[in-house]
Amino acid sequence: MSTPGLALTHMTSAQSSKYATVNVLADGIDGALTQDSVIDVSGSADVSPSAANVIPYMVLQLIGILTGNISLKLPSAVAGYGTSHLYLIKNMVPYKQWTPNTVHAVNDTCVDPSGHIQKVTARTGDFKTGTVTPSWNDSGSTTTDNHVTWTDQGAATSYTVTVKSVAAWVAATAMALGQVVVDASGHVQKVTAVTGDAKTDGSTPSFSTTGGATTDNHVTWTDQGAAATVVLNPGDIKLVYSDGGNCFKPN
């Protein structure tokens, strides 16, 4: 068996556990280099991708046309991967430049030299752009580019994407020491004590946001302060580490 992309041969199960660990690390590195999840963040609403679409170590590529500042809400936990995740996030919204001889799908976008967003609204033949930069229409009309038709969407606006971790509080659920949630005010709340069945209450508690403790049925939460987030400007490519409640750039 080989690791896809890197073609690193796995050791057999009969060998020692340290080699099995190497295999796991190789798979993680391979995933970081070869897997790419494309997330359309068009519009002005926050986006919450499913855990299946943001496997830890995966490259996340943000596409689309933003009409306002939004938040990208990453799941706090992914089955089989725990709560600590590292991502490479590429904010390609919408500052992708035009390229020659390129196949395009309807709704693909680019930004022309005047700073206008151009969107593919029709295509024919081999769906390819021309060999030279077209003369762009920047007044709301169309531009013919070999077998691709672009329609002007107006001047691009530099909206931001704030990356945050979502660990929502859940009613009547058993918790473990050290688990965290992010409350409605954006503060990280950490389990510092449990009793009995270690379950939360049936209704949302009034969380402390001043560093104090909150009693929640058989769970005690302690406020850890405002959750850290990472802001991506158009064209930014950043490593983002999520520990289940915070998102930040690794040092």
Q: How many other CB atoms are there within 10 angstroms of residue 20's CB atom?
A: 14
Same domain flag for 236 and 172: yes
When pLDDT is cut at 50, 70 and 90, the band that residue 10 belongs to is: very low
Mean pLDDT across the chain, nearest whole number?
86
pLDDT at 60: 93
For 137, the domain range is: 109-155
Same domain flag for 46 and 114: no
Q: How far apart are the first and last CA of the chain?
A: 35
pLDDT at 168: 87
* Tokens matching residue 173: 């659920």
Q: What is d(CA 60, CA 240) in angstroms, rounded to the nearest whole number?
A: 10
Would you say 131 and 138 are in contact if contact means Cβ atoms under 8 Å apart? no
pLDDT at 124: 97
Establish how many alpha carbons lie within 13 A of residue 132's alpha carbon, considering only the half-sphere containing its beta carbon: 1
Same domain flag for 30 and 76: yes
Instruction: Tell me the mean pLDDT in the region 78-101.
Output: 85
Residue 10, in any domain of the structure: no
Same domain flag for 143 and 177: no
Number of domain units in the chain: 2
Is the Cα torsion angle 92, 93, 98, 103 positive or negative in sign? positive
Same domain flag for 165 and 72: yes
